[in-house]
Amino acid sequence: MIRLFVAIALLFAAVIGLDWLGGVPVSVAVEWPGGAVAPPLRVVVVGLVVFAVVAVIGWRILSGILHGPDAVRGFFRNRRRDRGYRALSRGMIAVGAGDARLARRFADEATRLLPKEPLVLLLSAQTAQVEGRGDDARRAFDRMLETDDTRLLGLRGLYIEASRAGEAEAARHYAAEAQRLAPGVAWAGTAMMEYQSADEDWTGALATLDAGAAARLVDKAEAKRLRAVLLTARALQAEDGDPDHARAYALEAHRLAPELVPAAVVAARLLTRQLDARKAAKVVETTWKIAPHPELAEVYLHVRTGDSARDRLKRAQTLEQLKPYAAEGAIAVARAAVDARDFPLARASLARALRQAPTRRVCLMMADLEEVETGDAGRVREWLGRAIRAPRDAAWTADGVVAEAWAPVSPVTGRLDAFEWKVPVEGDSGPAELDGPDLAERAVRPIAPPTPPDEPPSAGGTVAPVAAEPEPKPAVREPETVAAAKPAEPVAAAMATAATVAPAARPAFVQFPEITRPDDPGAVPERPRHPGPVAGPAYV
């Protein structure tokens, strides 16, 4: 409707304009050899407009006739190109979806329609990868090396294929070539840094990392972390041969990443060797507040050589106060207390550790404590049995590999900074009885072993050998008589007033070398008590 009004308005405007031209006092005379004419101005204007329209239409017709073949060829060429790009797009989608048959179909169609398109080579290579034809994929990537636009793409594809095939030298060659052509490519720099780390070329790896950080290919925080890892590895390498430089590397790594436990351990160890105990303790305390770790506790307790066991116990208590709710602090105090012969404190600390983390290591420490303090083979065996079923402790883990010590690179993938301090993945996580306060109470409160049917309990908690009777009498369980505890020893008092546990409530034991089962009908020889630490039974 609006267009109709506009057309009518234009028509009225044209009529008014022509009428106005009729009244303009302008005369036009047209003469030619056969005569002359003097038409009105409006006729002249209309004639000129009609002539212009006819001229434009004639030129378009003539131009179409002259350029018709090219236009027809362009039409079919554009149609072919559109079909080729449509096939290329569908082929990429099929590759992403993993449909090898459809990807091969569209790849062949795109190759036929777009023979000079670089993306067609990429589609062919990826289709070959989906189909598992590595040789065809490599040939496609080799063809990409012939042009400058696709050379980096071809190098990356060849690098991936060589890595999949386990050809480390070839993969390293392609990564080095890509880094030479384009230093700003992130994947090439990362690959070269990992290869240099695998060769323990820490200087070259640091230079590669600095180049990537300067080009802003690596995040600033990640670059600091990786640099700290490389410096720690370099410090470990130079620890024995060049301790001065190793200390500088370790301290710089600790400054860049205070949470990196290996850096703090190496720095503290080197500072201890150079008799700088105060600085070594400060380094350990800084990292301990962020990430408590048993290696930190070990180096902290021996930060000053020649200290007595009591001095190490005080230092362990100081370390525990920095992070009061960490189980590692209680474990460190318990270990130092055992060395200092402070068994009540050791038992109380292990009880706290059992409430927080009832792991195998804590159960084994309880077995050691029972061995040193009481020498009771039954209770030692009980804690060893619990240790077998207890959850695993945290360890240095990388790509499914559990290592005894930290390493800068993964032994499986070669990835830098792959090791983490965490509990390894396992199917069985221990029985339910290891959770809750019951286990901690058993650590504080000693449990009397069940009385064998043919042997009465002795006053010292051990079983005296007696001759076997021909007809053993039924066992009568009686509470064990314990002397009254002193008021200054609350743990000992709790141990003295603890109730006995029925034999049926005790878990099944695992047989260990040189240890007789408590419920064995035979005689159990009396185990002498030792004044000092005694080597415990073999652990499984």
198-229, pLDDT tens digit by residue?
A: 888 899 899 889 888 888 888 889 999 999 99
Closest CA to 141 of 149, 150, 132: 150
Task: State the pLDDT at residue 442.
Answer: 52
* Least confident range of 18-27, 402-411, 506-515: 506-515
Task: State the pLDDT at residue 71.
Answer: 78
The end-to-end CA distance of the chain, in Å, is 95
388-408, pLDDT tens digit by residue?
A: 999 999 999 998 899 989 999
* Least confident range of 85-89, 410-414, 419-423: 410-414
**494 pLDDT exceeds 80?**
no
CA dihedral sign, ordered 516, 520, 525, 529: positive
SS3 at position 28 = coil
Mean pLDDT over 188-194 rounds to: 88
Greater confidence (151 vs 496) lies with 151
The amino acid occupying position 155 is L
SS3 at position 402 = strand
Locate the DSSP E strands across 407-485: 420-422
Q: Give the percent of the chain with pLDDT over 70.
A: 75
Instruction: State the pLDDT confidence band at 74, using cuts at 50, 70 and 90.
Output: confident
Mean pLDDT over 68-94 rounds to: 86
Helix/strand number for the chain, H first, E second: 21, 5
* Least confident range of 67-71, 361-365, 438-442, 477-481: 477-481
Helices (H), 132-260: 134-144, 151-164, 168-181, 186-198, 202-214, 220-238, 243-256
Strand partners, 207: none
**12 pLDDT exceeds 80?**
no
315-332, pLDDT tens digit by residue?
A: 999 999 999 888 999 999
Please give the backbone phi and psi of residue 445, each rounded to the nearest 5 degrees, phi first: -105, 110
Task: Taking each helix axis as running N to C, give the angle between helix 243-256 and helix 277-290, from 0 to 180 degrees, rounded to the nearest 10.
Answer: 30
Mean pLDDT over 23-30 rounds to: 66
Q: Are 351 and 443 in contact (CB under 8 A)?
A: yes
Instruction: State the pLDDT confidence band at 447, using cuts at 50, 70 and 90.
Output: very low
334-345, pLDDT tens digit by residue?
A: 999 999 999 999
Task: State the pLDDT at residue 381.
Answer: 92
Mean pLDDT over 421-444 rounds to: 54
Mean pLDDT over 232-240 rounds to: 93
Q: Are 249 and 408 in contact (CB under 8 A)?
A: no
Instruction: State the pLDDT confidence band at 184, using cuts at 50, 70 and 90.
Output: confident
Instruction: State the pLDDT confidence band at 439, using cuts at 50, 70 and 90.
Output: low
Task: State the pLDDT at residue 525.
Answer: 40
Task: State the pLDDT at residue 294.
Answer: 94
Q: If residue 396 lies in a helix (H) or strand (E), which one and from where to where?
A: strand 395-398
Which single residue is written with the structure tokens 């993945």? 425
**247 pLDDT exceeds 60?**
yes
Mean pLDDT over 241-265 rounds to: 94
Instruction: State the pLDDT confidence band at 28, using cuts at 50, 70 and 90.
Output: low
What is the average pLDDT score of the chain?
A: 77
DSSP-assigned letter for residue 446 = P
Task: State the pLDDT at residue 259.
Answer: 94
Instruction: State the pLDDT confidence band at 443, using cuts at 50, 70 and 90.
Output: low
Q: Are 445 and 492 in contact (CB under 8 A)?
A: no
Residue 540 and residue 538: Cα distance in Å, rounded?
A: 7
Helices (H), 358-454: 360-373, 377-389, 437-444
